[in-house]
Amino acid sequence: MSDAKVESFKKSISKPADAWGKELEKLAKQVEELLKQRDAIGDTLNTAFAAMQTEILKVDIPKDADQKEIAKVPAWFKEILNKKLTVLGKYITSTADARLESHVMKVLISVGWSWKDF
C-alpha cells in the first residue's frame, strides 16, 4: 500500500510537468510550421537559381572574343556568385562554380547549398 503523502507529492510535482508537456506540444507544432517554411524557402532558392541559370544559358560566348579574356570569365563570375550568396551566409553554407564550355559556347554555373545548423 502506498503512502498517501507520497502520492500527494507525486501529484504535486506531476502537475507542472503536465503543463510543461502541453507547452512542448505547442512548440512542436510551431517547429513543424517553421520547418515547412524553411522547405518552401529552399524551394524558392532553388527556383531562383534555376531561373538565373536559364537566363545565363541564353547568352552565347562571342565567337570573335579574345580567348584569353574569355578564359578569365568563369573565375570572375564565380566571384560574383559567391558575393551574392553572402547575403544568406548566416543561414546557409554554399558553393558556386562557373566554367567555360567552349564547344557549346556557354558559361555553365552550379551552386550548391545546405542549411546551417541553428
Residue where a domain stops, chosen among 32, 58, 84: 58
The set of cell numbers assigned to 56 is 545565363
Contact assessment for residue 96 and residue 78, using Cβ atoms and an 8 Å cutoff: yes
68 and 32 in a single domain? The answer is: no
Give the C-alpha separation, 77 to 53, whole Å.
Answer: 12
Q: Report the pLDDT value the prediction gives residue 71, as an integer from 0 to 100.
A: 92
Whole-number Å distance between alpha carbons of 25 and 10: 22
- For residues 109 and 90, state if they share a domain: yes
Same domain, 112 and 71: yes
What value does the mean pLDDT of the chain take? 93
Model confidence at 1, in pLDDT bands (50, 70, 90)?
low
Look up the domain containing 46 and give its range: 1-58
Q: Are residues 107 and 64 in the same domain?
A: yes
Residues 49 and 14 in one domain: yes
- Tens of pLDDT along 42-84? 999 999 999 999 999 999 888 899 989 999 999 999 999 999 9
Task: State the DSSP H helix or E strand holding residue 118, giving kind and residue range, or none if neither.
Answer: none
Handedness of CA 79, 83, 84, 88 (dihedral sign): positive
Q: Are residues 51 and 15 in the same domain?
A: yes
